[in-house]
Amino acid sequence: MQRQRVLVIVGPTAVGKTELSLQIAETLGAEIISADSMQVYRGMNIGTAKPSPRDRIRVRHHLIDVVDPDQAFNVADYVELAEAALLELSGRSTIPVLTGGRACILMPYWTVFFFRIPRRIRTCAPGWKNKQRLIQPDSTLN
């Protein structure tokens, strides 16, 4: 995968990440990749602060409403879907805006994409940070 710029917007709940990401995405012609652990679930619209249908028309969003609540879904699944979205955007020369505030979602994403960790050792299980220490960053990305 070719090196790609990714704009990341993080912060605590209710500080305006969604509106900021919409404004930036409109300005840059970018698309938003949600990094929210609850917005991936279909039908869970109350309490998840999902972008409105109007906002999703305003700017294309990825990783919202992609899995049913009764399906197993974890960070490894998220990273796989995020990787596919990132590759799609890269193929269209579109800037991704990764928006969310959950460290358990974002840290594996950053680790995988910025340090090129092989798929077989990606995990968010307890102790995943210990595995991270065994891996050196891919020198071709520097």
Q: Examine residue 22 and state whether it is found in any structural domain, yes or no.
A: yes
CA distance linking residue 107 with residue 114, whole number of Å: 10
Q: Examine residue 135 and state whether it is found in any structural domain, yes or no.
A: yes
Name the token pair of 31. 């698309």
Q: Examine residue 2 and state whether it is found in any structural domain, yes or no.
A: no
Domain assignment of residue 122, given as a range: 7-141
Please check whether residue 100 is in contact with residue 10, taking contact to mean a CB–CB distance below 8 angstroms: yes
What are the pLDDT digits (tens) for 15-65? 888 899 999 999 999 999 998 888 999 998 888 888 999 999 999 999 999
Q: How many domains does the chain have?
A: 1
Name the token pair of 47. 């309490």
Name the token pair of 127. 């102790």
Please check whether residue 63 is in contact with residue 39, taking contact to mean a CB–CB distance below 8 angstroms: yes
- Residue 5 pLDDT greater than 70, yes or no: yes
What are the pLDDT digits (tens) for 61-72? 999 999 999 999
CA distance linking residue 48 with residue 62, whole number of Å: 15
Q: Examine residue 1 and state whether it is found in any structural domain, yes or no.
A: no
Mean pLDDT of 76-94: 89
**Beta strand 7-9 pairing with 96-99:** parallel
